[in-house]
Amino acid sequence: MIKATTLSTSLRALAGVTLVAGLAACSGASRTQPAGINDPHEPSNRKVHALNQKIGGSGKPNRVAAAVPTEFQSVIHNVSENLSMPQAAVNSALQADFAGFGLATYRFLVNSTLGMGGLFDVASDFKVPEHDTDFGETLYVWGVGEGPYYELPVLGPSTRRDTAGRVVDLFTNPLSYTLDSPEKYVGTVTGYADSVFEKNRRIVNGQQVPMSAAGDSYAQARQEYLQQRRADLARPTSIAATTGPRSTN
């Protein structure tokens, strides 16, 4: 249920958190990073990776995920994606990516209404593409360096910049301020489930080598994450269109 009486106060708090995060990011902004892989914490990261392997399995196809009907997996993806749109809209605005802000807002409005609360992806039927961004990307746009590589418990591969982004994202999704428990946690649960389904599909389809088949699963996970994340950050946005490609360094 939406808490209308506290919405104004919550949004002011949200604005304050975002402003403080922005000032902190700008004060330490630097586009200079070591080339290649920056992993000074590798020994401790490997211990966390071993723990994550035990928790999440060795990278073999997930039997539970494989047993879930494709139609239900699609619904989980739709709900997760729709609930992430308000946060994507906030981050797009902070990045001065107003085209992205419009996409995220439009997708959320269409799928929340015509799509029955996000169960169906009507916006894609209208040829409106998905829009994915986060505060880690916002920090990147602001010039914050990638920092060292980390492997986080349960969450997996990250960097110092993306870890900070994850923390701030907890406060920058308007839904977390307007929904009561347990509704506010639906996005987190569906997001995690969707990531498990997606990883399983990639392994089954041969798009991702199972960690158990890798000679060094830690190095593989690190390489895959950094390559994919840097490629995602380098994709064109409204800023790139006016200032040229953004450096991933």
Distance of CA 43 to the CA centre of its chain: 26
Token look-up 């009907």 returns 69
Residues counted in the chain: 249
Task: Determine, yes or no, domain membership for 249.
Answer: no
| Residue 22: inside a domain | yes
The stretch 90-102 carries a mean pLDDT of: 94
CB-side exposure of 248: number of CA atoms within 13 Å?
15
Euclidean distance between CA atoms 56 and 157, whole angstroms: 13
Mean pLDDT of the chain: 77
77-133-156-203 Cα dihedral, nearest 10 degrees = 50
Residue 10 to residue 78: CA distance in whole angstroms? 26
pLDDT at 68 over 80: no
pLDDT band at 115 (very low <50, low <70, confident <90, very high): very high
Element (H, E) at 91: helix 85-94
Give the structural domain span for 224: 4-243
Stated pTM of the model: 0.74
Q: Is residue 229 part of a domain?
A: yes
Predicted pLDDT at 102: 95
Question: Is the residue at 161 inside a domain?
Answer: yes
- The neighbouring-strand residues paired with 151 are 157
**Bridge partners (DSSP) listed for residue 149:** 159
248 domain residue, yes or no = no
- Say how far apart CA 5 and CA 7 lie, in whole Å: 6
2 has pLDDT over 70:
no
Residue 198, both tokens: 């997606």
Collapsing DSSP states into helix, strand and coil, what is residue 190? helix
> Mean pLDDT, to the nearest integer, of 12-28?
51
How many domains are there within the chain?
A: 1
Average pLDDT of span 47-67: 74
- Whether 8 has a pLDDT exceeding 70, the answer reads no
pLDDT score of 243 more than 50: no
